Structure formats: structure tokens, C-alpha cells
Amino acid sequence: MLTVYIPMDSVACAVGADDVAQRFAEEAARRGMALDIRRTSSRGLFWLEPLVEVDTPHGRAGFRTVTPEDVSGLLAIDMAAVRDHLLSIGLVDELPYLKSQQRLLFARAGLTRPLSLDDYLAAGGYQGLEKAAAMSGDDIVANVLDSGLRGRGGAAFPAGIKWRTVRQAGADSKYVVCNADEGDSGSFADRMLMEGDPFLLLEGMTIAGLAVGATRGYIYVRSEYAPAIAVLRQAIVIAREHGYLGDNVAHGGHDFDIEVREGAGAYICGEETSLLESLEGKRGTVRAKPPLPALQGLFGQPTLVHNVLSLASVPLILARGAAWYRNFGMGRSLGTMAFQLAGNVRRGGLVERAFGLTLRELVLDYGGGTASGRPLKAVQLGGPLGAWIPPSLLDTPLDYEALAAIGAMLGHGGAVLADDTVDMGRMARFAMRFCAIESCGKCTPCRIGSTRGVEVIDRLLAAGNAEEKSRQHALLDDLCLTMQHGSLCALGGMTPFPVQSALKYFPADFGLTSQENAQ
Amino acid sequence: MTPEQQTAVEGLLRSHAAAPGGLLPLLHAVQDQLGYLPPAAVPLIASAFNRTRAEIEGVISFYHDFHTEPPARHTLRLCRAEACQCMGGEALAAQLRDSLGLPDEGVSADGELGLIPVYCLGACACAPALELDGRLHARVTPDKLRQLLQGLKGGEGAC
Ligand SMILES: Cc1cc2nc3c(=O)[nH]c(=O)nc-3n(C[C@H](O)[C@H](O)[C@H](O)COP(=O)(O)O)c2cc1C
Ligand code: SF4
Ligand code: FES
């Protein structure tokens, strides 16, 4: 019997994967042909979606951007001659884009069915938890510390230190909270992982629960990710049925259970304290720190808050060992990073690599430059609070420290490409406006400053003479400084980054000469 | 609120008010069932959660997802974030403005289509993206948008 693999990832479906799967079923029925249609996760090679794969003696071969109209032709071809088909991309694992990656977190992407526990177990799933269940909490924490894992949500704080703090905190109840608010434009790795490999996240959270002594976990997922929410809820039921959640998890003598909570369309709820307020049923107003959430988090109890990818890294660290994990990466940036290529990019998708590649390799070698074929103007790295990086800085290595040195940040690893038709004056204005729309309102520089920022940028762009331009420019610089230093959290504090980088590298888009800008 | 709406809210309150931090799940559940959050439900919610009406209203108004008026028959959520902007998302916004007279946000003159801006749908590798009546569409071209809108007019498969 022929087996075809078609992703059920929501974005693959948004470009037609469901329609293609349905046509396969219809065509097979019409021909009285036995066909096994497996709905897998996505490989993350989004420019090829819908990517349909078939088994061949040498491995899985793929067909790109398949439409329902292509299906009948695909069923007619001789599997020995797969390569000759117009849409053939040959063996998927041999694609340089994929072959050169180091897929640890996304090892199963495109291969397994998201809700098949059997697929998960057959591909190494729950080995980390089995080990953890037999260890002391201190030993689990020591493993995470040794691995050098840093939070993948943006701030890159060493995970092990947070685990130790929560573990050592004395309290009746503790919580593990997964931050799945992924609001950054250009980011979709959390979404892919939750939709495609939900048990991995559940396993990571469960290990975290055992380590810090928590019995309850929450996954706070943004409401825009309805399919991920549905998949996670089903996965939780399955995990419970098989003893991977609930009482006496994995026979280790500890209880742990997880609930999925849906966000409500507020970007700021990705900030961890705002997220906790939201989980408590309040407005998502940012809390002042201290107290740290690790000591007084959800409902005032010690709480371990982590991004999806941080938690999903944990099962591998436990299963393969901290030393093995440290083999990937460089300096203080250890392990792999899930980069995401988005926007005006020829080959948009997920690139999981050990830290150390440069922005050029990511954007040009993997991404293939712009989709439009026009010159690349800038790359925004790390979401809406990240700087716009000009092509002249493409050789910057993609690690936390090197990026900080050029005033940029890796954030959650998303890279948005813009071609030369994009007006950086407008993008700067958008950054301020976004901040105004999403501000939680707690502090003045952000709440008021962002609105004033939009106005100043409007005046700067409209200014008719050099004198007025330079007045508005000075005002904007001043405002950015105030926001940067006077805001409670990074929404107000980092909105100046996209604004100032746009001004610095693309003064012409503001009607400024570079000299005026240098003043 | 109609008596049916009131019964629905009371039923949902019974299953949600006791859960720790259960207010957002409750608000989602009410909105899923009734299509919006009727202002007259606020006092009921406040008393079930033992919080003030101002607090409940404060929560509802904080989150972009919650609406206190009935929605249009169809809802289009157009992504206006950076990756989509860089791939023609703004042209789609302009198209809606020109063809339906819809500004960035609002309801079409015939009351059929509500437009809501969103900031990232996680489809940034296949930008631009939009969500129509809960269904995600990516690599949206002006032509595709026209077809989608046409499809709504056809009536079938609406709702
Ligand atoms: C405005 C703002 C938005 C944020 N959004 C997210 C987000 O969507 N996902 C996330 O994991 N962290 C986000 N963070 C970072 C969190 O506050 C926090 O650092 C993170 O959840 C900690 O997890 P980690 O240690 O695994 O990175 C955001 C921070 C700020 C200031
Ligand atoms: S910077 Fe903005 S979002 Fe952050 S706490 Fe202040 S007002 Fe709220
Ligand atoms: S920016 Fe539009 S889907 Fe992410």
C-alpha cells in the first residue's frame, strides 16, 4: 500500500494541505486504490508547503506546493521515477536546507503524527521523563544547570538558576507556567512545536514539575493559535490516559497535571508577570520585580515561567545528558536555536542550528534573499522590539552577545526580511503605534510616550525644512531615551530599538541626510 | 440580555466561577456561545466571582479579543504585523478600504463583514495572512482576497 505524508500544520493547511489531503482520499477511493494518508507535523520548509511526501526505497521523497489539481497526476506516477516529476524535490532529508540543520528540538518535525503517542515513543519520546522520574529534584536541576540552557523566550536568562530558585523556595504549592504567547511577528517555532510535537512540551513541563516540586502546570497559549490549543488539549488527555500526567507520574511518586489557558489578544501578556496576572483572571498589567515570579509568581506562589522551546529542550537534556547538549553552540550560547525566516524571504521556514552561524548564512544561504527578488533592505530580528539590521551588518554572528554588541537582539529567533520597497519611516511609525496599541498602561513613558512617538514621527516625516526636521528628530531621540530608561518592561523599553535603528541606518526614509542623523 | 442569554451565562458561571483564575476562561466561554459579552452579563459575572463590576469591565476592556457588541455575520482578521506588511499585507488593507469602504477596523455598510486588525497569526513564513470566520489563509493575494469575499456573498458555507 502506498503511504503519503501530508502535514496537518495550520499554516500548511492555510496554503491548501487539507484540500490536498481530501483530494488524495477522493482520488484513491475513485480508483479503488489502497492509500494510507498520514497527517504529520510540518518539516518547517514553508516555502514548499503543501509539501507531500511518499516513501521510496531510499527514504521519503517530496513534492512541493502541491495543489488538489496535481493529485491525480501524482497518484499515476511510477514510484521508481518519482524524481522525474515536475514537482519533485527528491529526497527530503537530502535538501541542503534541511540536511545542514541540527534538529534537536524539531527532530520529529514532519516525521510523526502530532497526536500519536506511539509515534512519539518510537522516536525517543518520554525517555527524559523516565530518567527524571528516577532522579532527585536536585539532580534534575543540576542537569539543567550543567547544560547551560538559556531561556528561549527572549531574555536568555540561565534556566538552571531559575529552577534552583523555585526548587529551594519553601511553599505549599508551586507552579510551572509555559509561556506560549508567541506574539512576535516573524516567530512561529512555538506554534510549530505545540501543533506538531505536543508531547514534547508536556514532557518538558512534567520534568520541570518534578524538579521544582510543582504539581500543577499551565500553558498560556495566545488565542490566535486555536489549532495549537486544540492539539495540546487532546495531547493532555492522551498523556493522562497513559500515566504521563496525573497521579504518580511515570511511577516516580509525584503528581503533576497540566491545563491549557487561552490568551485574549494582548501582546503584553507574553511578558511573564503580565501573563501571570492574566492567568489569575485580571488585566494583564505588568508587575514590578522584585518579587521574582520564581519566588512569588502565580497566586503568590513560587512559579517557574518558561518559553515553549526552553521547556521542550529539557527532555533531550535529561535523555542525552547535559554534556551532550553543551556540544552544540559556542561561548555562553549553548545548544541549538530555532531560527525562523519570515516576511519577504524566498525560502521561509524553520532553521534549527547550533549557535554560531551568521545572519548572512541565515538570511541568504538558507533564506535565499528576498521573495520579490528585489534588493534586501533590512532584517528585523527578534520581533517588533528588535532592531532593523542593514545588509552591511549581515556578518554578525547570531549569538546573544554578538548581537547585543550591535544594538540588536536575538529575541525568540524570528527574522523578518524587507526589500527596498519598504519605507523605514513607516516601519518606525508602526513600531510606536504597536507599542501604543499594546501598552499595558502601567508606566507613563510607554503609555503616553508611544502615542507621542507616533505624532513626532508624523511631524518628522512631514517636516518641510531642515530646521523643523532636526527639531523633530531631536525630540524623537529624547523621547526614545526616556522610553528606554524610564519604562518598567521591555515593551516601552525596547520599542526605541526598531525606531532608532531605522533612523540610524535609513535616514533618507525620514528625509534626513546621514550627516543630520549623526548629530 | 434575552432570557436565553441569561440562562447560558448562568450555566457557564456555574462551571467556571470556582476555577482558580477562571475569569478569562469564563469570558471566552460566554463569547464563544453568545458571540459577544452582553454588558448586562457583567453584574452576574461580578457577583459570581465576588469582584466589582468595575473590575470585570476593566478586564473585558483590557483584552483585544473581547467584544461587548454582537459581531457582524462574518469576521475577517487581517494581519497587520511586520512580516505581513513586508509581503503586501498593507495592499490587502487598502483593497478592503477601497472595495468595502472599511477602514482598518469596523463593519461593512451592509453589516455583513467585520474587519479586525491582528498582529501576527504565526503564518509569517507564508505572509500575508488573514483569518476569515476562524479559518486561516496564507500567501493571500489580492485575487484570493477577492475570491474569499465573493465566497461570502455566495451565502453557502457562510457562518
Ligand atoms: C513585551 C514582552 C513580550 C514578551 N513576549 C514573550 C512571548 O511571547 N513568549 C515568551 O516566551 N516570552 C516572552 N517575553 C519574555 C518573558 O517575559 C519571559 O522572559 C520568558 O517567558 C521567560 O521564559 P524563558 O526563560 O524560557 O525565556 C516577553 C517579554 C516582554 C517584555
Ligand atoms: S513599559 Fe509599557 S507595557 Fe511595560 S509596564 Fe510600562 S506601560 Fe506596561
Ligand atoms: S506577521 Fe502576519 S502572520 Fe506573522
Q: What is the mean pLDDT of chain B?
A: 94
Cβ neighbours of residue B130 under 8 Å, at least 6 residues apart? B76, B77, B78, B79, B92, B121, B136, B137, B140, B145
Is B82 in contact with A11 (Cβ distance < 8 A)? no
Task: Name which of A13, A183, A282 is nearest B120 (Cβ-Cβ).
Answer: A183
Task: Name which of B24, B62, B137 is nearest A14 (Cβ-Cβ).
Answer: B137
Cα–Cα distance, A20 to A52 (Å, whole number): 9
Domain boundary among the residues B21, B39, B62 is at B62
Q: Is the pLDDT of residue A281 over 90?
A: yes
Q: Do residues B39 and B94 share a domain?
A: no
Q: Is A305 a pocket residue for ligand 1 (Cβ < 6 Å)?
A: yes
Predicted local confidence at residue A27, as pLDDT? 96
Predicted local confidence at residue A57, as pLDDT? 86
What does the pLDDT average to over A83-104? 92
pLDDT band at A82 (very low <50, low <70, confident <90, very high): confident
Rg (CA), chain A: 24
pLDDT tens profile A105-117: 999 999 999 999 9
Which residue out of A150, A272, A306 has the highest number of ligand 1 atoms within 8 Å of its CB and is therefore the one to mutate? A272
Is A417 in contact with B86 (Cβ distance < 8 A)? yes
The fold of the A331-419 domain, in CATH, is: Ubiquitin-like (UB roll) (3.10.20)
Is A434 in contact with B125 (Cβ distance < 8 A)? no
Looking at ligand 2, which residue's alpha carbon is closest to its atom 6? Answer: A443
CA quadruple A170, A172, A178, A183: dihedral positive or negative? negative
**Which grid cell is A63?**
513534492
Is B121 in contact with A224 (Cβ distance < 8 A)? yes
Residues of the domain holding B86: 74-151
Predicted local confidence at residue B158, as pLDDT? 39
Number of helices and strands in chain B (H, E): 7, 5
pLDDT tens profile A397-446: 998 889 999 999 999 999 999 999 999 999 999 999 999 999 999 999 99
pLDDT band at A80 (very low <50, low <70, confident <90, very high): low
Which residue out of A164, A220, A271 has the highest number of ligand 1 atoms within 8 Å of its CB and is therefore the one to mutate? A271
Task: Name which of B22, B65, B119 is nearest A264 (Cβ-Cβ).
Answer: B65
What does the pLDDT average to over A194-222? 98
Q: Do residues B141 and B103 share a domain?
A: yes
Contact A188/B at CB under 8 A: yes
What does the pLDDT average to over A374-400? 96
The fold of the A424-518 domain, in CATH, is: de novo design (two linked rop proteins) (1.20.1440)
Q: Which of A228, A223, A222, A224 is nearest to A201 (CA)?
A: A228
pLDDT tens profile A237-263: 999 999 999 999 988 899 999 999 999
CATH classification of the domain holding B102: 3.40.30.10
Q: Do residues B82 and B137 share a domain?
A: yes
Is B119 in contact with A182 (Cβ distance < 8 A)? no
The answer to whether A328 and A356 are in contact (CB under 8 A) is no
Cα–Cα distance, A399 to A330 (Å, whole number): 8
Closest CA–CA distance from residue A167 to any residue of chain B (Å): 23
Going from N- to C-terminal start, the domains of chain A cover: 2-95, 117-326, 331-419, 424-518
Q: Which of A260, A437, A494 is nearest to B62 (CA)?
A: A437
Instruction: Confirm whether B39 is domain-assigned.
Output: yes
Q: Do residues B21 and B81 share a domain?
A: no
Predicted local confidence at residue A20, as pLDDT? 98
B100 or B75: whose pLDDT is higher?
B75
Q: Tell which CATH architecture fits domain A117-326.
A: 3-Layer(aba) Sandwich (3.40)
CATH H-level superfamily of A2-95:
Glutaredoxin (3.40.30.10)
Q: Do residues B98 and B56 share a domain?
A: no
Cα–Cα distance, A265 to B105 (Å, whole number): 15
pLDDT tens profile A212-225: 999 999 999 999 99
Phi-psi sector, A401: left (phi>0), alpha (psi -120 to 50), beta: alpha
What's the ipTM?
A: 0.96
Task: Name which of B24, B119, B136 is nearest A10 (Cβ-Cβ).
Answer: B136
pLDDT band at A175 (very low <50, low <70, confident <90, very high): very high
Q: Do residues B143 and B81 share a domain?
A: yes
What share of chain A in percent tops pLDDT 90?
Answer: 91
Q: Do residues B78 and B58 share a domain?
A: no
- Cα dihedral: A178, A181, A184, A188 (round 10): 70
Q: Is the pLDDT of residue A519 over 50?
A: no
Is B87 in contact with A279 (Cβ distance < 8 A)? no
How many other β-carbons are positioned within 10 Å of the β-carbon of residue A431? 29
Contact B121/A at CB under 8 A: yes
Q: How far apart are the first and last CA of chain B?
A: 22
Q: Which residues of A touch B127 (CB under 8 A)?
A: 342-344, 348
Closest CA–CA distance from residue A227 to any residue of chain B (Å): 10
Looking at ligand 2, which residue's alpha carbon is closest to its atom 4? Answer: A489
Cβ neighbours of residue A345 under 8 Å, at least 6 residues apart? A47, A363, A367, A368, A369, A370, A371, A415, A417, B125
Q: Is the pLDDT of residue A268 over 90?
A: yes
